[in-house]
Amino acid sequence: MTIGPGQFAVLSAAVFAVGIYGVLARRHPLGVAMAIGLLFAAPVVALVGFTHAIQVGPASGDALAAFTIVAASCVCSIGFALIVLLWRRTGRADIDALGDLEA
Amino acid sequence: MTPNAVAFYAVAALIVLAAGAAVGLPSLRSAGYAGGAVVVLLAVLELISGAYELAVVQVVVPGIAAGGVALVLRRDAYRGLISGPILPGRFWIAAPIAIGVGAVTVVTVALVDAGWYPGNTLVNLPALVQPALITVLHYRAPYALAIAVVVVAVTLGAGLVIGRRSGDEQSLDQLLQQRRQREELARRRREDREQGRRRPARDDS
């Protein structure tokens, strides 16, 4: 039994669905940031599968996957900075506290 | 390199379990550990798939980001951020949407299966186009690396600007600290005075 890009794509879809659940269900901003990290992890899984389960051409998908990992870390870092700012301004760790912020 | 089937399915099951724990566990600390497990398991998946360099990037880059987050959370001012009250999740909204999206994507990609094979497109292209496309793909890696470095630099700057305490906030924190100290001092004096009043009363009795 061989593993092809289809299996990687199914795993990617499953991870993406779990990430969507986390983004919608979590109310703590750190939990939401982690779920967004999962959303970014899903395409990495797919890219690895498309690149390495198929023996064709240069592994250019790895470059894209590496860039996705860096982008995910950057997005989560900026999100964390915003969470810290939210915590200092409102004293609450709740996504709903964003609505209480004034411009 | 095509991964071993048994290893792939074992790691895939663990990834889904860890991801579920990362979004489902009520304790943020435990969820953070589960998130770390997801990162490590993704690196293992990349290792068994033959993407060795990517596995290193997968562990190192999020590890640096997580280290920075941990350093900030260790400070007293932000301890409450992670140990705050557990808020009830909105699973009645999230679960149907996630199940719907998951079902659609899983069924779609499962049906496509071998259709993901991109080599057909590359091979069937005219001979004139093929070298140009391969050149673009070949030089994608340095471009991605250069853009990634720029993104990291911008993130560092933006994160520091957003997360830093402004002068107003620092002076406000100092004022609040002084107020707390004054209140504490006044409370101690009040208690001392009350104790001083009680002592003669006890002596009289």
Closest CA of chain B from A46, distance in Å: 10
Question: Could you give the C-alpha distances from B166 to A88, B162, B163, B169, B173, in angstroms and in order?
Answer: 11, 10, 9, 5, 11
Q: Which residue has the higher pLDDT, A1 or B34?
A: B34
Cβ-nearest to B117 among A2, A54, A80: A54
pTM exceeding the 0.80 threshold for the entire prediction:
no
Residues B171-205 pLDDT 10s: 877 888 889 899 999 999 998 888 887 776 655 55
Contact A78 B80 (CB under 8 A): no
The alpha carbon dihedral of B80, B82, B88, B90 has a sign of positive
User: Does A36 lie at the interface with B, CB-CB under 8 angstroms?
Assistant: no
Tokens of A76: 């989560």
ipTM attached to this prediction:
0.89
Instruction: Verify whether the Cβ–Cβ distance B23 to A22 is below 8 Å.
Output: yes
Phi-psi group of B44: left, alpha or beta (phi > 0 → left; psi -120 to 50 → alpha; rest → beta): alpha
Q: For residue B167, how many other CB atoms are within 10 A of its CB?
A: 7
